[in-house]
Structure 1
Amino acid sequence: MTEEHTSPTEVAAGTTLLLVDDDGPFVRRLARAMESRGFTVEIAESVAEGLAKAKAAPPDYAVVDMRLEDGNGLDVIVALRTAREETRMIVLTGYGNIATAVNAVKLGAIDYLAKPADADEIFAALTRGPGDKPEMPENPMSADRVRWEHIQRVYEMCDRNVSETARRLNMHRRTLQRILAKRAPR
């Protein structure tokens, strides 16, 4: 697919979009918003369903939630990249951190957005040209957020092994589990 767009607020007719998110009300609202911008939308509410749809009909674009009830959305990113290399994908999650953002981009995502992201932000990220850069955030990360990001980076380096991460951080395993279960601090 070429990078042509009919206007800044919609895409060419027949452009396909796969939405993979286990939050049913959110994904249906997002689907309606993206359909109004010209996309032909498919919804998957699990990793298994996302993998099946990625293999059956690889889309032009995809929005994939990182944490799904049956697994990790990065598995869907890998399947999409394998099925169709030029699919433009973004990762959307309520548990955003630098380590998983880097991993998502290495696997083929073009952007990474933290929830709550609205349809306009998602559309802008999907259709942003290769040279276009997103705006810089106005506020720097808090000390709590920096600490949380470091913990997430070590967790990813340990292949999401809680015991090994706790050992490397010299932290009690249960304390680490509580930190990992919470949303990222602002």
Structure 2
Amino acid sequence: MTNRLQQIDDRLLRMNLWLTQGIVLILSAACSLFLFGWTHTVAMFAWPGWFELLAALGIAALLVLANLGMDRWLPRHWQDDGGINERIFARMSLWSIFLLCLSVGIGEEWLFRGVLQTYIGNGWASLLFALIHVRYLRKPLLAGGVYVTSFAIGSIFEWSHHLIGPIVAHTTIDFFLALYLRWTVNKREREEEQNGDEGGKQEESS
């Protein structure tokens, strides 16, 4: 699966991701309206109180810091996804990254929290969420991290029964981790460019 993804052009990879999220949004809306009807679906998107929003942002901040800590202190090969996320986000503008993360947050939380978790509970919904991230399954740390993240976000929905909090948490996590990936790639490229320039100057001087 990862090998096939690596053969896809970066632009096509991003287009596929946008298409996938569009399908998820349509599927979420269809399932929600069919199972719960219009009134209950709209009620799930009711604006929460400030405490719920702050709790969602707090959980998101803890999970972002945990991810940054793992990237800093744990072996790189434990977290290698084949560079797919770097290819997706490294060349995107900040606005495009935000829109993509927001669409992912809305679609996935609507489907996995609003629809699935309502019927099968947080544990099973989080397990399914981890399983759909197929390219992470060979990396126990990545798969476990996805499950824990999903379960933590699912706890917000379990407590509030509203989707805004989970969507805010999911979007925040994805957005800041995407910015971190973008910064990491740009920093690495600048360092490689500087090293190349220094190597060229040394050759000229010799």
Compute the TM-score of the two structures, normalised by the length of structure 1: 0.26
Higher-Rg structure is: 2
Q: Which of structures 1 and 2 has the larger relative contact order (alpha carbons within 8 angstroms, sep 6+)? A: 2
Q: Say which structure is richer in strand.
A: 1
Compute the TM-score of the two structures, normalised by the length of structure 2: 0.24
Q: Say which structure is richer in helix.
A: 2
